[in-house]
């Protein structure tokens, strides 16, 4: 089943899906911003690295 890109999740549903490894969150901020606080389980890939690093993002997407 392909996820609907227009689906919106509340914080609790996002946390559940992250725990079940059903979704991945990519935080594209700079490393120092990410270090200041982020969603637990998210992956930091600064926007300028995204194109080359996307292969390293955990699956499923």
Token pair belonging to 26? 């990519």
Burial class (CB in 10 A: 0-12, 13-18, 19+), 44: middle
2-13 pLDDT per residue, tens: 566 677 888 899
Whole-number pLDDT of residue 2: 59
Looking at the predicted structure, is the pLDDT value of residue 22 above 80? yes
Instruction: Give the dihedral of Cα atoms 11, 16, 20, 22; nearest 10 deg.
Output: -40
33-59 pLDDT per residue, tens: 999 999 888 989 888 887 776 677 777
| Measured distance CA(49)–CA(30) in Å, rounded | 10
Backbone φ and ψ of 17, nearest 5°: -70, -35
Q: What is this structure's pTM?
A: 0.62
């Amino acid at each position: 089943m392909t996820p609907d890109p227009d689906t919106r999740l509340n914080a609790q549903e996002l946390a559940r899906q992250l725990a079940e490894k059903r979704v991945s969150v990519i935080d594209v901020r700079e490393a120092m911003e990410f270090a200041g606080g982020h969603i637990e389980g998210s992956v930091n890939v600064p926007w300028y690295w995204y194109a080359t690093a996307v292969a390293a993002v955990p699956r499923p997407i």
